[in-house]
Structure 1
């Protein structure tokens, strides 16, 4: 058998300059088993690439493991002097691998003696073969097979891990690629009613929209059309060739009163005249004509608030061609106005079709309180079995909320708990607090001893941490209500807390519940909902796609809903709303929905119909400059099972007006939440549960309004599903964490470049600054703060000019995987097949393993730090405490400035004095023990 050793010299990296010109001319000499080979010389190259292969016949294969391969790197000198030594590598024969297992390995260059200046690394590939034809090209290793579940959070470099067989499926399932500019915020220039320098009006952040208003008050002395000598009159109004509107029908009356207002948008006025006709409703035959009026639109007057309302006038009804027997009069008021008219919100509007579910409204969230029930003790309880000691617990229920105490530690008829139960209650208080005293008589079997019913209107309210008076309540048997003992309770409403009913990341109000603790408002937030653009069809009507869009805005306790614009992909609302602001570090949320309830029979026949989401926008008030009007078009993005989709744009005008600049500044130094959250904090799990109850209560109360603000809209605005786990959200937080760490990483990289003299001028300046700061340590803090001041001033020119909007890239929604979307939109409990659940579980295990590994590494570092003095490793602890003793002696006799200068100069030393291997302290620290060895 003939064995041959093959060595492929690939390249070298970051060699030490040797020729006086900042470079070198390296070559390699290889020695093995008394044989020597030499590579070519690479002139003036500190990162040479050779890619040369050499073979060494092995004289005795059984002794190869005892041999060693020596590779020396030299720099050639032209003047005949001895070549400069650049480093060496020694590889023992025991590490040689056979053909097919070879791989390129980077070896750090070693010194020949203590005072050698060596740095860099050499890349070699080494293998042996027992075949005579082994000089042929070695076999390529097999490609790595990746499991079906992808690696956690793949980035640009990790795309190689994706399965090749799924490429075509991903192309079919992914949504159309949208340019990044389509997802970004756009500046707009609407023609607002607001003009700088003019006196502010109630509608100065929206575009002026002209409307033709008609107030139909009443009629008198109409003609009788029925056999009973009366009529069932109603009025039709038609502008040109547009669609007619009509009043309600007044049955059996010749002097009807309607008192209804109609508003026709000037953009939809088709024709030069307004035609008003009065008709008698006949359900069995054609309606009867009662009279008509015609107005020329050019003759109608214009009214601009705050002018007084136009007085209604009596008009005599006239005959129409082909119609006779007309008599009577009708009282009307007709004028041109704008959406600022006080009658506009309640008027029939041509854009909304007059449906009951299309009007704009303002809603107020119910005032929420934390109801605290302190269950102290009970006495004289009478169990059913008097021969045993009862195991008593108390179950409290308020509406859909239910909580339970632990079983009392003392098993007797006078148990003791002293536990707090917390509920969310809303004004007006409709539910009754019911406490059931139960005896556990067996596993999962409890017997009711009695209950207590407490009406919430009688409960005391507190605004601070002072305890309220406790009371004894009689425990009464359910049904016949005989006395069954008594229970000691302390029940109160905690008004010092703020009941959170929205995601903690974007709270719109942080005031405590008790009004006595409210501070003076800081300013006013004004929102102008202008228009929408390029909405996509949300449903089908009469065989074509259509959208009936409305907006909902929420800030604090005040919710607003714009009118619904019927059948329009570019609706124009031009409605303005205001809110009092008590804290600038809050968020206003605006969402757009498609109205699915335009006809009452839809609600009756299909009660499960829900308004569809078109998109959502959040604006943080602290990012707005005071008294500046922001006009922008915000993209409306919705994540669907097929991926992220742009549903259109919404144009908003926002202005935040500050009353007192000093009061505004003081807010930044106060705690964000009321002080009760810090004096008596609530647990994270408890707060999350209470928040979910608060969302349910608010959505149920607002859905009972008329027109209702439906639960699907309220829950979308309050992010009820924000606590649900999804792979996409985990990726979002992962990359957010990387973004936070990018700053310190960039500083560390910059400092590393300084230490390795990548820019000698900058490094010298850092040396000078370091020496000045060490010699004059009182300049350290002033220099640090001055530096941060200058950085802040420099960044001022790059400050954001517009409010932020939803970011598809930040949300990891642009390139989300189809299986991740399928998981995110799955129901709870799941509705998928066991095979899909198994795949998700395997993928989750991969993700959890990465998180588990990171958490374990962090824990190991802390355990190694504590092990330095714990004597778990006696030798390591002995070394460390000896070092501490020597360091104490040296630092005691050496001036601090000298120590600081020496340490700083060592850290900033030249690359020629550096070693690429880890430092001695780092090697020592990594060798200290952790508790990972004890884990099963």
Structure 2
């Protein structure tokens, strides 16, 4: 039975948000999400608590009881006046009782917890707080016993109110649908910022007075090894085979603020040309805090660095320091005029330079409302549950929603905003399953599997319009493409100045340093992987951490790996790009072959008008383009672009191709599988080689017209050029064009079914294929 075709289309939704109802008035916070009602309970402190053996003998904590929902504060040991300052939020729609109880208990041991006193509230009497009201003032309440009798000692300060997720206490609150006793810290909503990244340029110029271990060493292979953290780069071997080598070579690193690790440069001698073994001749440790920061193309000043010789067993250290005076000349600078690329180039969310001094003013505000998700699969097979949360990334700001526990249709309703400096950027939203929420693994070692990802390009959004759509969450696995559910988002780009936004299209896409001193494609690719690694390392040290698999998925690390599926998709994109040219050629062939005599005569008439009235040519072309643009504006797409399953070839690819796409580098496959894939790759490369060879042949044939490689053909072409020179000089250019077009558009009965003279002549010309082995 055939597998049912999944629906990857975009669906417009109409959520109950205030932003869609108030599009002309002033913007309000949290107007892109549905309002969720919560009961907030803020426990501040207590006083006068008495234990079984008197004051300061109890271990108090507070338990909030609201029907079946319970929340507890932290426990203080031997303290009668504890201060908790904790907030609890209970979802109003899940409240199934009319009474709220806050019970102060004493933890006697692991099993027994004795009640010290309690405070009861009628939920119907709880006040409602509406933004932007000030916070509700907390009050002291005397504790009661089990029978409701006021106790002689013991008071609890707290406040209770009704509010929404717009309340400032919501972000740090214990939330009933996103908290567990063991993993509360891993479920809260958080905001992260990527570290500020710099390009570290190390230009090693030359060495001086190097001392070799072997004094009779001849033709040494001396190079410089640069180390920054876990990254090691090396220069080429110096062409000067003596104690004063020269390189004048750049090594590029990525460094992150705050600078924690120094740059280590070591001059080494390669002992065997066929092996990687080398001996260190001297090294220098350079703290990055002392390195020059530059914002323009002015070269950094060169400095001589004294090299420290590594200690050798049996040598006198003091005598060695006196005799050793080797130096290294280098220019080292932190280049802040570049933008450090840490994302795939096509999906960059930030294009600003490292130095804030070079930033242009922001042009608008991007707001994102993450409402809910539906149809999520079960991600934890043993527990049969899914604990989903979202991560959104734009520029250097990462946001993470709270984790909704054990739900296949989570409702987040959280709103975030970013300043926009360039419209040609992309917002990325990913959905993940919280791997920390499972038994026996709360130490940060759990894996967070991906559920899906959505990208939204800002330049496709109209200003001040709210886009509310349900996006499919699609993941490509080794077994095939799979729809993991849908996520509902609300997006709005607010334009600060329309003219500034239009001016943004005339500015360079990247900072000026990328054009004044451009980096090679190989350097950019290497530096991007360095930047992504540093970003994932720093964000994984936050609390709660953004794990490496999350950062790599959001930054598209590994997107440049070989994939037959992507190769087919790119091939189709090129064909689609050229389809307009092919259609134009096909249409002209129909005109030329008189498929429609009326169309051929009309075309010939327009051609005569253009020839005799040439000043109308450009005006007519631009008028046609204007009319086409106005016509297509009426039928322009109203929704942002999203996944095209047909273009991506996710339905037509097979498991063998997907398995190859997910195979890491270096490959884990061996034997017959690897041989089969290599043979297939050779076949594809062979066909590409033939196509490239044919293109080169055609170009070389044109070049050989005047090369005299074929003397007879060149003589014919030269004579033709001489005759054409006299003919075009005597005959007006307009008549030449008319005669040429008349000859091309002649009726088919006046033609023969063979290639033209020009085609026959070009195909007989020689190419450089004769010189190839």
Q: TM-score w.r.t. structure 1 length? A: 0.79
Q: What residue is the counterpart of 2:341 in the other structure?
A: 500
Cα distance change of structure 1 residues 298 and 912 upon mapping to structure 2, 3 Å threshold = farther
Deviation of the 1:386 alpha carbon: 2.3
What is the CA-CA distance between 1:293 and the residue it aligns to?
2.2
Contact persistence 2:295–2:335 (CA under 8 A): yes
Contact conserved, 1:637 with 1:808, CA < 8 A, in 2? no
Give the distance between the partners of 2:264 and 2:491, measured in 1 at CA. Answer: 47
What residue is the counterpart of 1:928 in the other structure? Answer: 765
Partner of residue 355 from structure 2, selected from 514, 534, 551: 514
Structure 2 CA distance, aligned partners of 1:533 and 1:198?
A: 32
- The answer (yes or no) to whether the contact 1:618–1:806 under 8 Å persists in 2 is no
| Corresponding position of 1:438 | 268
Whole-Å Cα distance in 2 between the matches of residues 909 and 624 of structure 1? 50
The 5 Å alignment of 1:282-321 reads 282-320=108-146
- Report what 2:314 is aligned to: none
The CA deviation string for residues 762-815 of structure 1, in whole angstroms up to 9 with x for no partner, is 222211111000111121111111111111111112211011122222211122
Aligned-pair distance for 1:922? 1.1
Answering whether residue 441 of structure 2 is matched by residue 602 of structure 1, we say yes
Instruction: Report how far residue 514 of structure 1 moved.
Output: 1.2
Distance 1:618 1:213 in 2: 35
Describe the SS at the equivalent of 1:904.
helix
Partner of 1:332: 158
2:374–2:487 CA contact under 8 A, matched in 1: yes
Distance 1:826 1:407 in 2: 35
| Distance in 1, Cα, partners of 2:136 & 2:149 | 31
Distance (whole Å) between structure 1 residues aligned to residue 363 and residue 454 of structure 2: 23
Query: What TM-score results when the alignment is normalised by the length of structure 2?
Result: 0.95
Select which of 194, 197, 213 maps to 1:384.
213
Question: Which residue is equivalent to 1:474?
Answer: 306
Give the aligned partner of residue 417 of structure 2.
578
Match in the other structure for 2:47: 220
Measure the CA separation in 2 of the matches of 1:656 and 1:332: 40
SS at match of 1:328: strand
Determine the structure 2 residue equivalent to 1:417.
247
- Structure 1's 698 and 338: CA in aligned 2 closer, same or farther, altered over 3 A? same
Q: Partner of 2:224 in structure 1? A: 394
Distance 2:427 2:460 in 1: 12
What's 1:683 paired with? 520
Corresponding residue number in structure 2 for 1:808:
645
Post-superposition Cα deviations, 1:339-358, rounded to whole Å, max 9, x if no partner, equal 00001000000111152111
Equivalents in 2 of 1:909, 1:616: separation in Å?
57
Structure 2 vs 1, CA of residues 467 and 284 (structure 1 numbering), >3 Å: closer, same or farther?
closer
Distance verdict in 2 for CA 1:747–1:226, change over 3 Å: farther
State the shift of 1:477 in Å: 1.0
Please say if residues 49 and 55 of structure 2, whose CA atoms lie closer than 8 Å, have aligned partners that are also in contact: no
1:477·1:484 contact (CA, 8 Å) conserved in 2?
no
1:667-702 Cα offsets, whole Å, 9 max, x none, are: 212221111111111110111001000000000000
Counterparts of residues 164-183 of structure 1 (less than 5 Å): 176-179=3-6, 182-183=7-8
The SS at the match of 2:328 is strand
2:103 to 270, 277, 283: 277
Q: Pick which of 482-491 and 583-592 moved more.
A: 482-491
Shift of 1:227: 8.3
Q: Deviations over 1:498-527 (max 9, x none)?
A: 110000011111111111111111111111
Q: Is 1:728 equivalent to 2:565 in the alignment?
A: yes
Structure 1 residue corresponding to 2:82, chosen from 256, 260, 283: 256
- Correspondence 1:330-369 to 2 at 5 A: 330-354=156-180, 355-369=184-198
* Secondary structure in structure 2 of the residue aligned to 1:442: coil
1:549 alignment counterpart:
388
Deviation at 1:196, TM superposition (A): 2.3
- Cα RMSD of the aligned pairs, angstroms, is 1.9
| Equivalent-residue separation in structure 2 for 1:583 and 1:412 (angstroms) | 52
Structure 1 residue matching 2:615: 3-state secondary structure: helix
Q: What is the aligned counterpart of 2:235 among 384, 388, 405?
A: 405
Q: How far off its partner does 1:758 sit?
A: 2.2
- What secondary structure is seen at the aligned counterpart in 2 of 1:569? coil
Cα distance in 1, alignment partners of residues 26 and 475 from structure 2: 40
Instruction: Provide the residue aligned with 2:70 in structure 1.
Output: 244
Aligned equivalent of 1:560: 399
In structure 1, C-alpha distance between the alignment counterparts of 2:199 and 2:235, rounded to whole Å = 18
Aligned partner of residue 846 in structure 1, secondary structure: helix
Instruction: Identify the range of structure 1 (229-238 vs 621-630) with the bigger mean alpha-carbon deviation.
Output: 229-238
Whole-Å separation in 1 of the counterparts to 2:596 and 2:463 = 44
Question: Residues of 2 paired with 1:285 and 1:653: CA distance?
Answer: 48
Q: In the alignment, which residue of structure 2 is the partner of 1:144? A: none
Bigger relative contact order, structure 1 or 2 (CA pairs below 8 A, ≥6 apart):
2
Q: Is the 8 A contact 1:215 1:260 kept in 2?
A: yes
1:491 to 314, 318, 332: 332
CA deviation digits over 1:84-143, x for unaligned, max 9? Answer: xxxxxxxxxxxxxxxxxxxxxxxxxxxxxxxxxxxxxxxxxxxxxxxxxxxxxxxxxxxx
Deviation at 1:637, TM superposition (A): 0.4
Structure 1 SS opposite 2:144: coil
What are the equivalent positions in structure 2 for 1:705-724 lying under 5 Å apart? 705-724=542-561
Describe the superposition over 1:273-312 as per-residue Cα deviations: whole angstroms up to 9, x where unpaired.
2222121113344211112222221110001121110011
**CA contact 2:728–2:736 (8 Å) conserved in 1:** yes
Q: Is the 8 A contact 2:142 2:151 kept in 1?
A: no
Query: 1:289–1:323: 8 Å Cα contact kept in structure 2?
Result: no
1:50-89 matched pairs, under 5 angstroms: none
Query: 1:875: how far off?
Result: 2.1
Cα deviation per residue 1:641-664 (whole Å; 9 max; x = unaligned)?
A: 111111011111111111122221
Task: Check conservation: 1:318, 1:326, Cα contact below 8 A.
Answer: no
Q: Secondary structure at the match of 2:660?
A: helix
- Consecutive unaligned residues of structure 2, counting only runs of 5 or more, are 312-316
Distance 2:371 2:152 in 1: 45
Alpha carbons of structure 1 residues 701 and 600: separation in structure 2 relative to 1, 3 Å: farther
- Measured in 2, the distance between the counterparts of 1:536 and 1:525 equals 30
The 1:798/1:896 distance shift into structure 2, 3 A limit, reads: same
C-alpha displacement at 1:539, in angstroms?
Answer: 1.0
What residue is the counterpart of 1:98 in the other structure? none
In the alignment, which residue of structure 1 is the partner of 2:283? 451
**What is the distance in 1 between the residues matched to 2:148 and 2:361?**
68
Give the CA deviation at 1:440. Answer: 2.5
Q: Which moved more, 1:435-444 or 1:637-646?
A: 435-444
- Please state if 1:426 is matched with 2:256: yes
- Change in CA separation of 1:449 and 1:499 when aligned onto 2, cut-off 3 Å: same
Task: Measure the CA separation in 2 of the matches of 1:292 and 1:764.
Answer: 97
Deviation of 1:325 after TM superposition, in Å, equals 7.8
Cα deviation for residue 254 of structure 1 reads 1.7
Partner Cα distance (1:790, 1:818) in 2: 47
Distance 1:909 1:566 in 2: 76
After TM superposition, the structure 1 = structure 2 runs for residues 528-547 of structure 1, keeping only pairs within 5 Å, are 528-540=369-381, 542=383, 545-547=384-386
Q: Would you say 1:837 and 2:680 are equivalent positions?
A: no
Deviation at 1:528, TM superposition (A): 0.9
Residues 1:658 and 1:255: Cα distance change in structure 2 (over 3 Å): same
Shift of 1:321: 5.0
Task: Judge conservation of contact 2:143–2:151 (CA < 8 Å) in 1.
Answer: no
